[in-house]
Amino acid sequence: MSASLTLTTAGRAALINATHTGTAAVTIAAIGLSATAITPTAAMTALAGELKRVTTIGGTVVDAATIHVTMEDDSTDAYSLLSFALYLSDGTLFALYGQADPIYTKTAASMGLLAADIAFPDASVTAITFAGSGFTNPPASTTVVGVTRFATADEAKAGIDNTIAITPQALELALVPLLLEQDGVGSGIDADLWQGKEPSAFIPASQAASFMPIASVGSGIGQFISLGVPAGYVGSYSLPAGGTWVYYYVNNGTGNAAIAAGGAQIWAGTATNFSGWAWRVA
């Protein structure tokens, strides 16, 4: 069960150290049981209708405001548990809880078991220890070994709950679609960038000073040269000297055809996807 206990005035005082600068270490040594439904108040110093105190307890501090407590009653007593209280090793009533419906009902032949995650919303409980050596079964977290459950596929995809575990299958169902949604450019992931820029913003070092044609076939009359200058390339290219060339160019933003004499520089400056070809006619 999960419950929010009322911390008594005496219990709060026990948590304050002698210099009033922090918390003091306290030990929960017993749990009082009652078949009377109570409405807890901080002023209470005793559990109304208390039947017995059980010392076969165990406990764990789950976080700054929550403890996990377990109790076993293997006696032959028969009762319905409606309220219970935590007692410190010096007998101080530390905190208590009650409700109208039975928390459990025990017969002479059965065992009473209580396992509760107890929240103290207005107090830090990190200094609490437990005198008993009973079993504990706390909720698991990143710092507490305990019980948890596996996330569903939808919970894994949501990625919100940090109190449950995830199986490899659920991880794949959550992670693979997320990765497939990333298309590189504009995805917000910098893996496709270098120093925050697209690869097209950079010109290879081999092209920094001169441009080499895609292909050059033959020599003399009929020699053919295919050109393909990448966008943003800064440099120039001149046809080989010693002949008369005809060249045709496209996608440079200035036209579609031109004829020049041998040795003419056919392109200079910053390329705009310049592409074309030339051949030697004389």
Rg of the chain on CA atoms, in Å:
40
Residue spans of beta strands (DSSP E) within the chain:
2-4, 6-7, 26-34, 50-54, 57-63, 66-73, 79-81, 83-88, 93-98, 104-106, 112-119, 128-130, 215-217, 224-228, 234-238, 245-250, 258-260, 265-270, 275-280
- Name every residue whose Cβ is closer than 8 Å to that of residue 247 and which is 6 or more positions away in sequence: 239, 258, 259, 260, 266, 276, 277, 278, 279
Distance in angstroms (rounded) separating the CA atoms of residues 227 and 200? 19
Return d(Cα 21, Cα 55) in angstroms, integer: 31
What is the model's pLDDT at position 271?
67
The strand pair at 93-98 and 104-106 is best described as: unpaired
Please give the chain's pLDDT, 282 residues, in tens: 667 889 899 998 888 876 666 677 889 999 999 999 999 999 999 999 999 999 988 888 877 778 888 888 999 999 999 999 999 999 999 999 999 999 999 999 999 988 888 877 766 777 788 886 555 666 666 666 667 778 888 888 888 887 788 888 888 878 777 766 666 555 555 555 666 666 555 555 555 445 667 777 778 888 888 877 776 677 677 777 777 877 766 666 554 444 455 556 666 666 666 777 787 887
Say which amino acid occupies 23: T
- Which residue's entry shows tokens 């548990």? 81
Q: Please give the C-alpha separations between residue 55 and each of 7, 88, 105, in angstroms, as whole numbers.
A: 20, 11, 19
The pLDDT, as a whole number, for residue 155 is: 85
Alpha carbon distance 245, 79 (integer Å)? 109
Q: What is the pLDDT of residue 222?
A: 81
Query: Quick one: DSSP state of residue 10?
Result: H
